[in-house]
Structures are given as structure tokens and as C-alpha cells.
Amino acid sequence: MTLYISSLLIACGICLFAGIQATFARSARGQDRVYLAFGCLSLLVSVYLALAASFYQAESVSTAAALARAEISFGCLIYPTGIWFFSLYTGLVHWRRWVTVAALIFAPLLVINLSSPYSLLYTDLTMRPPLVLPWGESVHDFSGTESPYLTGIYYTAVDACFLWAVCCCVVLWRRGRGARVWSLTLYLVVQATASVHAEVVNYHGGRGLTFDSLAFLALVLLMSGVLRRELQRRNQALAVSLDELRSETQRREGVEADLRHLAYHDHLTGLPNRHYMHERLQAALASTEPDDGALILFDLDHFKIINEALGHDVGDELLKGVAARISATAPASACIARLGGDEFALHLTSLTGTDESPAQAALRIARDITARLTAPLRIGNHDLVVGVSAGIAPLPGTARDVDSVLRQVDMALYRAKAAGRHTAVIFESGMQAQADRRLLLEKGLRLALDRGEFDVH
């Protein structure tokens, strides 16, 4: 039963999995270097444990020497990487300085180790009889002569790393950050116990197993659990933040939709307003495929009298009732808007396809609506009857912009009111000439008055 070798290989697999997981977690987060440092440390430890397992299975001195040299090489990489991880995890401000110092110490040791035939710890290596463990497992055993100076330098550097880690933990415990470093403290206790056991084994001739290599597994297991929980808490906090951001976005979209509705709709009747109708007409005139339609402008007759006699509240309710009746009578494809005051506009499209011309179809629709509006409207305790005048401007007609269309429909409405009200009139080109002549006449009369050109007879 190969329990010890299997334990080393299982520990190697656990560290390899933890290193890959931490590296991918760092890639997903994009900025947190502590996950990258822990991933690198775990990957180095996994290779170190695999070499340790292979060392106990080496069949020759040359193979054992190569494995010992590779194991010490990875040890020279593990300790600076451990300093990097410890510094980032504990939040040291000057972490780069500590990493640089560790790298400067272990880099020469790494070079010396790679150039040594039996690693920097030994000047020679011999095979001893296999070591039989209490549970019956047999592993190969080697012994060698330690290098008097390099061995002391190497273990002094290793001990300095552990002493530095202990000092960091003590400082953080004194600052009340024990919850952050309890896992590191527990690992240091395990590592110290394993190191003491190794010293005892060496003191008795080195015939026995040491567990200082497996102590690295405690670090990987403890820190992978801590970092995983931190990552879960951060992901949960991120999910909460995303939900809050999504709710805020929806709220803002709702506010923007309300603002857009207010910008394009009349607050009293809920119909589109002048701005909306202006843009709709502009789009219709700019269309490359003009559609025969018309714009009808409705104006309530003597609405001012109702406002003055019954109050603005009754007037507002009357406007709502008029808007509802126009909406119920107008074609489904028509756009109804309140332009302001007691004026309502109706934009009609697709008036072709019948026996009558588009202008006559618009006139018929305008008369249907005015007839519907003659029915009394019940407002509170009042039965109100309103007259409606309508002006009609064919589209596209002769107008080339929205202002021209509105002027034409205004002139047709003025002609309807002049004709006795409660009627509908279609705009004709002669109306423009008459309006121009009237404007010129009024201008001339004012100028004549200013010049005193009138004689009283």
C-alpha cells in the first residue's frame, strides 16, 4: 500500500486544481492580483510535491540527484512567490520591495543549485536501504554530505521568509484584522510543527519521513477556501449591485418615457400635442413616397363664452369630451392632436382608393365629426352643445414645409368661420392670394394713417 506516495500525488493534484481555479478567477475579475499570485504559488507547490513523490521512487543516484536539484529549484521559486502572495493578501503598501528583496536572495541560490551536480544542499549523494514505513509501504532513501555554507544560507533565507510572515500576522492581529489572517496563522503553525518534526528526524540520523512538503498543502487548502468565500461574497455583492443598477436603469427609463410622453402629449386630453403633430407632418412631407392625405383643423365655436360663464373646470371637461368624440369618429389610421386652446388637428393618410378625391374624402370625414359633436355633452349638471368649424389642407398639396401646411389649414378655418361657423372648408390656392391682398391692404392702411393721407368727407 503506497499511502505516503499517494498522499503526495493527491496533494499535487489538489494544488494543481487550486492553482488553475485561482488563475481563471483572476482572469475573470481582471484586476485582483492576489488571485494570480495564489494561482502561481499553488502551481509551483503542485510541481514541488510531484518532484518530492518522484524522489522517493527514484531507482538510481543520478535520478535522485536530478530530482533533488529540481525540487530545490522550485523551492527557490516558491518562497519569493509566497512573499508576493502574502504581501498582496495582507495589504502591504510596499509589497514590491519585499518581493524584490526575496527575488534577489533566492535568484543566486537558484543559479548555484542548477549548476551543482547534487543540488546546492549536498556535495554528494548515496542510496541507502529502502525505508519501510509502519503501514508496510517501502520508499527509497538517500543520504548525502551537506554543503557547509550553502545549506546554511538556504535554510537561513527560508527561515527569514517564515519569520517575516509571522511578523506580518502579528502586526495584523494587533491591528484588529485577525479575521483576515487567521488562515495564514494556522498555516504557519502547521508549517512550524512540520519543520520541528523534520529537525527531530534529522537529529536521529534522517531515517524517517518528514511532512514539511505536505505542509504546503495546508496553505493551499486554507487559502483556496478563504479566497473562494471572498470571491463568492464579492460576486453576491456584485449581483446585488447589478440588481440595484438594473432597477435604477428601469426607473430612469420609466422617467425618460414619462418625460417623452409629456413632451409629445397634451396633459389634459392625453392626445399628441403640437410638437408631435409637427414632427409627424414633417416626416410625411419628407417621405420619398408621398401618400395622399389631408390635415383637418377643428376649432370650437364660442368656447370662450363657456369658459367665462361656467369656469375653466367645465371648459376642461368639455375639451376632454370633444377629444373623446373626435377619437371615436376619426378613422383608425388617423393621428389626432390637440394643438392648444380649443384647437384639434386630425392628420389623415391613404385617402385614395375610393370614388371620391382625397380632398372630398377629408371633407366627408370632417363633416361626420362636426355632426357627431353637435350632440349635447353632459358636463356635470350642464348639457352643452358646441359648434365646430373645420379647415382642410390637402397633403402634400402645394405646401413644401410644415409651416406652410399650418398656414393653409388656418386660412381654410378662417374661411369656415367667416362663412357662418359650424362648417368645413377645403383650402384653395385663391385663399392665399386673398390673404396676401388683405395683408397688403392692412399694411397700406396703417402706413397711410401714419402719413396722414386720409381726408374726411
Collapse the DSSP code of 395 into the 3-class scheme (helix H, G, I; strand E, B; otherwise coil) and give the result. strand
Please, which residues have CB within 8 angstroms of residue 43's CB and are 6 or more apart in sequence? 15, 16, 19, 20, 23
User: What's the sign of the alpha-carbon dihedral 142, 148, 151, 152?
Assistant: positive
- Backbone phi, psi, residue 301, to 5°: -80, 130
Residue 58, CA distances (Å) to 27, 115, 182 in order: 38, 21, 38
Which helix (H) or strand (E) is 26 found in, with range? helix 3-29
Separation in Å, CA 227 to CA 25, 38, 113, 168, 182: 10, 9, 34, 19, 13
Distance CA(49)–CA(45), nearest Å, equals 6
Length of the chain equals 457
**Neighbour tally for 233: CB within 10 Å:** 10
Report phi then psi at 330, rounded to 5. -70, 155
Residue found by looking up cell 525540487 in the block: 71
342 catalytic? Reply is yes
Instruction: Find the catalytic residue in 316, 342, 403, 410.
Output: 342
Single-letter amino acid code for the residue at 352:
T
Picking from 114, 113, 1, 10, the residue whose alpha carbon sits closest to that of residue 53 is 10
Q: What stretches of 204-273 adopt beta strand conformation (E)?
A: none
Contact 293, 347 (CB under 8 A): yes
Rounded CA-CA distance 159/146 in Å is: 18
- Look-up of cell digits 388683405: 438
For cell 378655418, name the residue: 413
Enzyme catalytic residues: 342
